[in-house]
Amino acid sequence: MRYLMVFLLCMSVVCLLSVSAQEVKPPTKLVFQTKMGNVTYDHAAHVKRAKGDCKVCHDKLFQQSDKAPLNYKPAMHKTAEANKTACAACHVTGGMAFPTAGNCAKCHVKAAS
């Protein structure tokens, strides 16, 4: 009986977590300000490529808040690429998306002066 209670409790926590990952309204675009030039992150395009599965990124790679740190900039992305964390979970050599090397301008856009 006690085990059943614990089991049910765990199941409801799991349910709550997966519901909360889906019910928030996702942003379309997020802009990250950096000294290298701002990065416009197309959240909608990334969600589409993840086939609508929020759990591909939340909260394993990122918090659902644009105020939370991305943890992507240390050592010019090399730390993240070595650990396959943050954007480098995918944007890494051998990953599903372009790595940083040679591709700075695909993300960092300098303001026209």
- Name residue 38's beta-bridge partners: 109
Q: Which residue has the tokens 């977590």?
A: 17
Q: If you ran DSSP here, which 8-state letter would residue 97 be given?
A: B
Residue from 8, 16, 30, 31 touching ligand HEC (CB under 6 A): that is 30
Looking from the CA of 27 toward its CB, the CA atoms found within 13 Å total: 11
Give dist(CA 54, CA 23) in Å, integer: 10
The verdict on 36 binding ligand HEC (CB under 6 A) reads yes
Residue from 8, 68, 82, 110 touching ligand HEC (CB under 6 A): that is 68
The verdict on 92 binding ligand HEC (CB under 6 A) reads no
* Other residues' Cβ atoms within 10 Å of the Cβ of residue 42: 13
Summarize as ranges the residues that interact with ligand HEC (CB under 6 A). 22, 24, 26-27, 30, 32, 34-36, 39, 41-43, 45-47, 49-50, 52, 54, 56-58, 61-66, 68, 70-73, 76-77, 86-87, 89-91, 96-98, 100-101, 103-104, 106-108
